[in-house]
Amino acid sequence: QQGIAITGCGSATPKQILSNEDLSQMVDTSDEWIKTRTGISTRHLASLDNSLSQLGAKAASQALSMAGLEASEIDLIVLATSTADDLFGSACQIQSLLGASRAVAFDLTAACSGFVFGLITVAQFIRMGVYRNVLLIGGDILSRWVDWSDRNSCVLFGDGAGAVVCQATESRDGLLGFEMCSDGNYNSFLNLAYQPQSKSLVHEVSIAQGGYEFITMNGREVYRFAVAKVPEVIEKALYRAELGTDDVDWLILHQANQRIMDAVASRLNIPDEKVISNVANYGNTSAASIPLALNEAVRNGKIQPGNIIAISGFGAGLTWGAAIFQW
């Protein structure tokens, strides 16, 4: 059986930056409130010139050059996103921008768990021997869907994309263990939902037409869910990998909120020095947040070959999951 190796990573964020000070001029909030409750200082926001496909393609190009692969060598592109440029999906647009003519491309939607679910999904294709060179991109432009007058949610989110190249290897499988969970009973905690706004008649058939509402969130419930479920799912993934928390060199959680990351690390007895965080600079970039943090830590030399990395995503659905891999 073939194993999987992560051989490259990359990321891209829009140029525009919105600070807490800027936000305090838009809604009733302050730098102090945002920093103490979330750890966020700034976030990058897409402008009209930025598309998710472009950000994804930029991150993917970096990952491909680190892996030493040409776009024409990619077999599969998976884009984890909830905010595609096109509701039919944006992975094919990325395929076209990269010139990855041989690749099959599709989107995967699992909100902030998208990158973790995506990594586990692409690993199955590689393990089965179906594909050898796979590009996984996690990207979101949530700023398009944030209610910028709602201080409860608008301070949290930012935009970006991150990518990894996963390749088949005949040596040790780099994906050591994983676990995925969903619970639709709590779907209402976090929504970006379609709402019918009008009814029309097509011949004798009544159809609804509408659009998507802004993000709605029950922050307290999401917080409670994350702090309870994320340590549990990481422990299960570690158990499957036959490892313990002491074996983890780096913990990269979905960058939703510094307080959630601190609470999860403390429940797992993983010291702060092993927790990779860049939420202060980017806010919550949903499916992009883990590969953004991973790419930064690889390029600044924190993550070294052979390191054991635990990643965990959690968010709307509700969905949550963890993967343990060796860099």
Residue 150, judged by CB atoms within 10 A of its CB (0-12, 13-18, 19+), counts as middle
- Asked if residue 257 binds ligand ACO (CB under 6 A), the reply is yes
Cβ-closest residue to ligand ACO? 219
* CA-wise closest residue to 43 among 35, 51, 33, 54: 35
The encoded tokens of residue 75 equal 């077999």
Contact 263, 232 (CB under 8 A): no
Contact 108, 79 (CB under 8 A): yes
Q: How far is the CB of 319 from ligand ACO (least distance, A)?
A: 9
- Asked if residue 217 binds ligand ACO (CB under 6 A), the reply is yes
Catalytic residue, chosen from 44, 254, 257, 295, is: 254
For ligand ACO, which residue of 9, 80, 108, 111 counts as binding (CB under 6 A)? 111
CB half-sphere exposure, 289, CA atoms < 13 A? 33
Catalytic residue, chosen from 92, 112, 154, 166, is: 112
Assess whether 203 carries a catalytic annotation. Answer: no
Contact 69, 163 (CB under 8 A): no
**Which residue, 3 or 219, is less far from ligand ACO as judged by CB?**
219
Assess whether 181 carries a catalytic annotation. Answer: no
**Which residue, 75 or 107, is less far from ligand ACO as judged by CB?**
107
Q: Which residues contact 228 (CB under 8 A, 6 or more apart)?
A: none
Contact 69, 165 (CB under 8 A): yes
Determine the Cα–Cα distance for residues 325 and 292; give it in Å rounded to an integer.
17
Assess whether 112 carries a catalytic annotation. Answer: yes
- Asked if residue 42 binds ligand ACO (CB under 6 A), the reply is no
Determine the Cα–Cα distance for residues 301 and 170; give it in Å rounded to an integer.
26
**Which residue, 98 or 253, is less far from ligand ACO as judged by CB?**
253
Binding mask 12-31 for ligand ACO (x = CB under 6 A): -----------------x--
Q: Which residues contact 75 (CB under 8 A, 6 or more apart)?
A: 102, 103, 104, 131, 132, 133, 134
**Which residue, 152 or 245, is less far from ligand ACO as judged by CB?**
152
Q: How far is the CB of 27 from ligand ACO (least distance, A)?
A: 7
Task: By CB under 6 A, name the binding residues for ligand ACO.
Answer: 29, 33-34, 37-38, 111-112, 151-152, 155-156, 190, 217, 219-220, 222-223, 256-257, 284, 286, 315-316
Instruction: Catalogue the active-site residues.
Output: 112, 254, 284
